[in-house]
Amino acid sequence: MTAELIHRLHFAFTVTFHYLFPQLTMGLALLIVVLKTIALRSGDETWDRAARFWGRIFAINFVFGVVTGIPMEFQFGTNWARFSRLSGGVIGQPLAMEGVFSFFLESAFLGLFLYGEKRISRRMHWFSAVMIFLGSWISGFFIIVTDAWMQHPVAFNRLPDGHFEVLSFWQLLLNPWGLLQYMHNMTGAVVTAAFVMSAVGAFYLLEGRGEAFGRIFLKVGVIAGVISSIVIIFPTGDLAGKYVARNQPAAIAAMEGLFQTQTGAGIVLVGQPNEETGQIDNPIVVNNVLSFLIYGTTKAEVKGLDRFPRDEWPTALPLLFYSYHIMAGLGTWFVLLMVVAALLLWRGRVYKARWALWALLLSFPLPYIANTAGWMTAELGRQPWLIYGLMRTSEGYSNTVSASNGLFTLIGFMGLYALLGLLFTVLVYREISNGPEEMMPALEKPAAAK
């Protein structure tokens, strides 16, 4: 294997493992605000304890997100030194601001939320939840703005020595690609949180304990889940897909397995892309749909890969095709499941429908898979460019770091992250096993014992 491939695999592994944590914290941040708002308005202690329970889950995810996120910052210098040296004047600013909002705003108010409840008013405790939400979502915005500039470079100037400099920081922040990607990504985070909260609620109801909390978790999770599962397809997914089609037409052709330019292009539901023959093997195609989805008419022409030089095709075309279809397929399942669950909730039957509870419980890993597949689609689609149209991936990696050194550290990271994953699982399992009942204030426990 080449050094370039090892560096790509190394960063892909660390960023994929890392994003298992922020996607839940960003989604939970919003749902915790919902729980705290209802608790504040109703005065019901059950909703307050539910919010504190998810605050503990949030904290565990936040810690592991920080621990696994820091090495990625260093990898810009160790594995992608040439890229960092030339583009640091652009990407350095939003990455620094992300650190400020994540480590200062979010972490400070998280400490206040977890340990300051008895020392501050109920409104201030609610305010700390709101600030955690703002901190996590602003932090995510700066990360996505950084990635969006690599996907769709704006507001820059390239100096004679090859370095990039920012012409307008506001234009960098308001990159249209970044805004669409941000809406789509954050909605995906809410989908993850909604499924996790619904799964925990279903687990409690199936176990026959903590019914009050199980009903709260299920109600909030299903309502948030049905809204976010629809929004992630339309309008956010639809708008993002159309923008990709206009600005990265080779990527959209590879995602859809469109080797030949077609008028009235169909969408491939199932198939295997064959680069050698330039066609999809064993396809199931719905005619004219792709043209309609991109251009709003079934008669529009969609560019295929035949319109682009072979060296501008995405370098991992089959993986891109499968990642995109896994994301889209799971998104369809999310809508179907959550719509059915919402109808059962509306009729008051979801709490007793064991088949629905089992479906929600067993589906909680699927948003993690879908979010991972979505990011793979975005990043693989940009290839062979590191900065789209300006710097190829082969020009950005650290060519002084050998493949063997990169492989050694990759194996080390895999071992270390396996231990971190095990520790995370144990901690979260312990919190869920204890349940919100264990978070009763100390003064309430003697009274409960009587």
Please answer whether residues 22 and 65 qualify as being in contact, where contact means their C-beta atoms are separated by less than 8 angstroms. Answer: yes
- Average pLDDT on 268-295 reads 92
- Average pLDDT on 145-160 reads 95
In the prediction, which pLDDT does 118 show? 79
User: Predicted confidence band at 438 (pLDDT cuts at 50, 70, 90)?
Assistant: low
Of 2, 62, 53, nearest in space to 31 by CA: 53
- Average pLDDT on 134-163 reads 94
In the prediction, which pLDDT does 439 show? 42
- Average pLDDT on 4-18 reads 95
Q: Of all helices (H) and strands (E), which one includes residue 11?
A: helix 3-18
Mean pLDDT over all residues of the chain? 92
In the prediction, which pLDDT does 448 show? 39
Indicate the angle between helix axes 403-434 and 3-18, nearest 10 degrees.
10
For residue 393, the 8-state DSSP code is: G
Angle at CA 116, nearest 5°, toward 110 and 119?
155
The 3-state secondary structure of 23-85, one letter per residue? HHHHHHHHHHHHHHHHHHHHCCHHHHHHHHHHHHHHHHHHHHHHHHHHHHHHHHHHCCHHHHH
Q: Does residue 121 have a pLDDT over 80?
A: yes
Question: Which of 47-51, 252-256, 270-274, 445-449 has the weakest average pLDDT?
Answer: 445-449
- Average pLDDT on 322-337 reads 97
Residue of higher predicted confidence among 445 and 240: 240
On the question of a cis peptide bond just before residue 235, with omega within 30 degrees of 0, the verdict is: yes
Q: Which residue has the tokens 């350095």?
A: 92
**What are the tokens at 110?**
């998280």
